[in-house]
Amino acid sequence: MKLKIEELEWSVWLLIIIPLCGITFYLWGIATALLLSLLLVPIILVVKNELIKRQFSWKPSYSVGVAIFDDEHKKLFALILQMHRALKHMPSKEEARAVLIELKKYTESHFSQEEAMMEKHGYPDIEKHKMEHKEMISKVQEFQKDFESNDVAVSKETLRYLQNWLTHHILVTDKKYSDFFQSKGER
Ligand code: FEO
């Protein structure tokens, strides 16, 4: 499995920071070691946050060529990022639940809009596409179950699955309708 810097726990960072400060102390003294430790923590925080933001963000290469769907995909990524942060920083269960409900509602609404446009224009691959949407909805429901059972570790794993699923679905399945919708005048 690929090691991701942004996913390293603070206990792992401490195993790196402490020996590093120890070496600095040995070579350059206490003042430099203290300065290094004070600088490293905020730097790690900023880098971790930036990497997580990038990982959970929509990118121009994800564009499906139809503005309304690109906007909805952006919103879906934003909601998954919000959920990720909610799980990480442990706000009240109610706050996290509100994000989850919005994620579920927004996902369903987005899928309905895509399917409606497919039906309107007679998109040939509609049934296969709908099956993938169903799979995502059931995964969101599973995520809701994990969340309500208070199993944060499982929730984080399911959330990662949702993010990967969404990226793959947009890049592979949604991209397939791009030329078709554009040929029907949808932009
Ligand atoms: Fe954009 Fe098919 O979901």
Write out pLDDT tens, residues 63-121. 999 999 999 999 999 988 888 888 777 667 787 788 888 988 999 999 999 999 999 99
Q: Could you give the count of Cα atoms lying within 13 Å of 74 in the half-sphere of its Cβ?
A: 11
In this predicted structure, the answer to whether residue 144 has a pLDDT above a threshold of 90 is no
| The residue to which tokens 């399911």 are assigned | 158
Give one word for 67, left, alpha or beta, with left for phi > 0 and alpha for psi -120 to 50.
alpha
Give me the pLDDT at residue 5, please: 66
Q: pLDDT: is 133 or 90 the higher one?
A: 133
Handedness of CA 109, 164, 89, 141 (dihedral sign): positive
d(CA 172, CA 164): 12
> Ligand 1 in contact with 114 (CB < 6 A)?
yes
Give me the pLDDT at residue 6, please: 65
In this predicted structure, the answer to whether residue 1 has a pLDDT above a threshold of 60 is no
pTM of this prediction?
Answer: 0.80
Give me the pLDDT at residue 81, please: 87
Q: Ligand 1: which atom is nearest the Cα of residue 114?
A: 2
For ligand 1, the distance from its centroid to the CA atom of residue 111, given in whole angstroms, is 6
> Ligand 1 in contact with 84 (CB < 6 A)?
no
> Ligand 1 in contact with 58 (CB < 6 A)?
no
Token digits for 105? 């509602």
Q: Ligand 1: which atom is nearest the Cα of residue 69?
A: 1
d(CA 175, CA 154): 30
Average pLDDT value for the chain: 87
For the stretch 174-187, pLDDT in tens is 999 999 999 999 98
> Ligand 1 in contact with 169 (CB < 6 A)?
yes
Contact yes or no for 68/117 (Cβ under 8 A)? no
Q: Whose CA is nearest to atom 2 of ligand 1?
A: 174
Kindly list the distances between the CA atom of residue 7 and the CA atoms of 50, 53, 144, in Å, as whole numbers in the listed order.
Answer: 12, 12, 22
d(CA 158, CA 147): 10
For ligand 1, the distance from its centroid to the CA atom of residue 71, given in whole angstroms, is 12
Element (H, E) at 29: none
For ligand 1, the distance from its centroid to the CA atom of residue 18, given in whole angstroms, is 46
| The residue to which tokens 């509100």 are assigned | 98
Contact yes or no for 127/112 (Cβ under 8 A)? no
Q: Ligand 1: which atom is nearest the Cα of residue 132?
A: 2
Q: Ligand 1: which atom is nearest the Cα of residue 129?
A: 2
How crowded is residue 40: how many other Cβ atoms within 10 Å of its Cβ?
A: 15
Q: Ligand 1: which atom is nearest the Cα of residue 173?
A: 2
